[in-house]
Amino acid sequence: MKRLNLFILIAALMPFAAVAHAGDIREPASPFDTGTSATHHATGKIAKVDGTANMLTLAHGPVTTLNWPPMTMAFGVQNTRLLDKLSEGQTIDFEFTYDGSNYIITEVQ
Ligand SMILES: [Cu+2]
């Protein structure tokens, strides 16, 4: 009888264990996990255009190829003249790569 109670308890707790594990999968991928040649695609809203540092801060949506959740972060820009055409509050589709130390935007649609 005691053994049966233990079995029921374990069975009852199992869904919670599964949920805790699913949380692990959503952790942002480490930069070291990604090849430097891969191109990633995302949609984001421009939070800041920094023409001095040639950086674009974006509140971007999920990036499935990197296992990233939505977040706000700064990207480098490959073609700095691109920044002249962009302004805060604008929503863009963009492509980016990892150059070994920074995430660099290579194309904006
Ligand atoms: Cu990000």
- Give the domains, in start order, of the chain with CATH numbers: 38-108 (2.40.50.320)
The rounded Å distance from CA 47 to ligand 1 centre is 13
**pLDDT per residue over 28-38, tens digit each?**
445 545 445 69
- Residue 51: both structure tokens together: 């023409």
The rounded Å distance from CA 24 to ligand 1 centre is 17
The rounded Å distance from CA 19 to ligand 1 centre is 24
Going by DSSP bridges, is the β-strand pair 55-60/39-50 parallel, antiparallel, or unpaired? antiparallel
* Residue 25 backbone phi and psi in degrees, to 5: -65, -30
The rounded Å distance from CA 31 to ligand 1 centre is 11
**pLDDT per residue over 68-105, tens digit each?**
999 999 999 998 899 999 999 999 999 999 999 999 99
Secondary element (H or E) of residue 97: strand 91-98
